[in-house]
Structure 1
Amino acid sequence: MDLKQLEHFVAVAEERHFTRASRRLNLVQSGLSASIRALEEDLGGPLFIRSTRRVALTPAGEVLFEEARNVLAAARDARNAVTQVHGLARGRLSIGAIHGLAPFIDLPASLGTFRAAFGGIDIELTLDGSRALIDEVRDGRIDIAFTQPVMPAPDDLGSRMFACEGMVVVCGAQHPLAGAGDLRLADLVNETFADLRPDWSVRRLIDQSFAAAGLQRRTGFEVNDMPMLLDLAAQGLAITLVPESVAAARARDTRGAPVAIATLHAADEPCWELAAVFKGRQGEPLTPVARAFLDLLQLPEMATEAATEEAG
């Protein structure tokens, strides 16, 4: 049993899904399955109950899950301690991000925690579209960009996956689709859509999904703000497609008009991904300051906080 196996195990345990975990780890699914099998053989029993759609932890897996998170956190703390000794007293951290990271990552809180740990590091933040951010990473103007991963992955860039989840339909509470399940994309082609602008990664993913299915749809509202997108759907003016966590956060918000959620059939469900993209390979940035920030961001307590944040 080694740290890499524990990282693989924790990813599957948190995602409850091998495919999503493999995307998050940038690891082929067969390699991830082999790593988990080797860990189970080493520990003498199964850690997961596998089904066609999801996986669940066995009692032994539940015990290992907590211990594995503690071990990985201790390892990251040790690396950060050594990094401080090796010269993070001064320097710069330049972060780029797409709009609407919450509820996946609370970037302001994460940067605040980093500043508390490394007070001598100057921090810069830029919000932009995915393509522009990737170009800035490649040119060295940004250390880390939080955006959709580039496919196929360029040889000069590395990434770490932070979110991989299905998208759902959001509509008004009285809409005929409210609460529906297993919808096909073809069921939506006669609806009016509220969309983000074409340079948003979410919009490109939706456009690509409909194009791959040979379908056309109508965009009646085009905005540059996720809350506005959801408010238009809440008023019954259109439907929209957003990541499941974003929809759930809006559904819990009682300050505006209520929304309803409808789910797509697994075969048609676009998978929205969020990754940290940087110069480097094999999941490691080239610069110590970028490595320190990503290690801090992946601490269990930070991940838990980000998962509970609501969309802005």
Structure 2
Amino acid sequence: MTLTQLEIFAVVAARKGFTLAAAQLKISQSGVSHAIRALEQELGVALFERQQGQIELSDIGSRLLPRAQAMLGLAETLRQEAHDARGMKQGTLRIGSFGPTASVRLLPAILAAYRQAYPGIEVHVDEGPDRQVLHWLQERRIDVGFVVLPEEQFDSYPLLEDQMVALLPADHALAQLASVTLKQLCLDPFVLTEAGSAEIVSRLFLAARLQPRVRYRTSQLLSTLEMVGRGDGVSIVAQSSLPLPTSLAYVQRPLDPPVKRRVGLAVVDERIISPATRAFIELARSLPRNAAD
């Protein structure tokens, strides 16, 4: 069993195909097939089920994948520990980011400082919904991810605190109020954005035993802003995700009672993170609020 075989196993599982995995790894498809076949023979189990040209992880493959990803993560940490001894002139850092709060407000300033401090570290950034970042962490597809806190399953580091706000058309009756309750937001069509804080919004209504009239689900905050600005509905978003300056077509109002939100960085296990990951976290935490906010 080799690290190369484990890497191929992880990539095939992620891409759900030998052809896509071969393209990502820049090797031949026959090379991918040979590596998987050799690994299966050595382990004595079938890692994938092949049906009608498609492949899926077998039951045992699903159980072994996190182990393989953990071993690959430890191998990368080992390599970067060696790089660190030489001044951390080389290495790779994989970051997961979600929504405007992380990708627009926090990440650019942190990355600018990181590149200046560690120009030899190759940085990869994957962007997706907040729950996708959690999934990437669990799969060890990324080394560190921006998450909404708390997240008890990971080691985490707070970076920013803001609040959830009601988003209303500028001419809406509720826009005249100083704050808005969840119950009042249930009277209009609701726009649920899944770009950043969909889980928080859903939990808020569930805890209050209320059911919003979700008429639209958007994958981008910009779509939510446009719909609310047109008067198609109301929404709840994180205050720090809103662009500056805000549009005259919509207004934001605090929730009553207020709902705070914390955003930070998370890793699977801080005891085994790579030097490049640790340096990123330490730099992110050291930046002044006005530089990272």
TM bin, normalised by shorter chain, reads 0.5 to 0.7
Counterpart Cα distance in 2 of 1:290 and 1:143: 7
Report how far residue 177 of structure 1 moved: 0.8
Counterpart Cα distance in 2 of 1:172 and 1:286: 45
Q: Which has the higher helix share?
A: 2
Counterpart Cα distance in 2 of 1:163 and 1:106: 9
Residue 172 of structure 1: which of 169, 172, 193 is its match? 169
1:261 aligns to 2:248 (yes or no): no
SS of aligned partner of 1:148 = strand
What TM-score does the superposition give when structure 1 sets the normalisation length? 0.61
SS of aligned partner of 1:124 = strand
Are the equivalent residues in 2 in contact too, given 1:164–1:272 (CA < 8 A)?
A: yes
SS of aligned partner of 2:197 = helix
Counterpart Cα distance in 2 of 1:229 and 1:112: 29
Are the equivalent residues in 2 in contact too, given 1:278–1:285 (CA < 8 A)?
A: no
RMSD: 2.5
Are the equivalent residues in 2 in contact too, given 1:173–1:258 (CA < 8 A)?
A: yes
Give 1:98's aligned residue.
Answer: 98
Give 1:220's aligned residue.
Answer: 215
Give 1:295's aligned residue.
Answer: 282
Matches within 5 A, 1:1-312: 87-101=87-101, 105-149=105-149, 151=151, 153-154=152-153, 157-197=154-194, 200-247=195-242, 249-250=243-244, 252-253=245-246, 256-266=247-257, 269-281=258-270, 286-301=273-288, 303-307=289-293
Counterpart of 2:155, as a letter, is G
Aligned residues: 211
Deviations 1:209-244 (A, max 9, x none): 111111111112211111221121112221111112
Counterpart of 1:263, as a letter, is P
Report how far residue 88 of structure 1 moved: 0.9
Deviations 1:109-137 (A, max 9, x none): 42232122111111111112333322332
Report how far residue 196 of structure 1 moved: 1.4
SS of aligned partner of 2:269 = strand
Counterpart Cα distance in 2 of 1:163 and 1:111: 16
Counterpart Cα distance in 2 of 1:170 and 1:106: 22
Report how far residue 258 of structure 1 moved: 2.7
Are the equivalent residues in 2 in contact too, given 1:206–1:270 (CA < 8 A)?
A: no
Deviations 1:118-170 (A, max 9, x none): 1111111111233332233233321110122354x12xx31011223221111
Deviations 1:286-309 (A, max 9, x none): 2211111122222344x31332xx
Compared with structure 1, are the counterparts of its residues 259 and 130 closer, same or farther at alpha carbon in structure 2 (3 Å cutoff)? closer
Counterpart Cα distance in 2 of 1:299 and 1:206: 30
Larger radius of gyration: 2
Compared with structure 1, are the counterparts of its residues 237 and 132 closer, same or farther at alpha carbon in structure 2 (3 Å cutoff)? closer
Could you list the runs of 5+ residues in structure 1 that have no partner in the other structure?
A: 1-82, 308-312
Are the equivalent residues in 2 in contact too, given 1:158–1:279 (CA < 8 A)?
A: yes
Counterpart Cα distance in 2 of 1:192 and 1:299: 42
What TM-score does the superposition give when structure 2 sets the normalisation length? 0.64
Are the equivalent residues in 1 in contact too, given 2:170–2:249 (CA < 8 A)?
A: yes
Are the equivalent residues in 1 in contact too, given 2:110–2:292 (CA < 8 A)?
A: no
SS of aligned partner of 1:119 = coil
Counterpart of 2:181, as a letter, is R
Compared with structure 1, are the counterparts of its residues 300 and 95 closer, same or farther at alpha carbon in structure 2 (3 Å cutoff)? closer
Are the equivalent residues in 2 in contact too, given 1:104–1:306 (CA < 8 A)?
A: no
Counterpart Cα distance in 1 of 2:130 and 2:272: 19
Could you list the runs of 5+ residues in structure 2 that have no partner in the other structure?
A: 1-82
Deviations 1:243-292 (A, max 9, x none): 12334x45x23xx54322222222xx3333312011334xx772211111
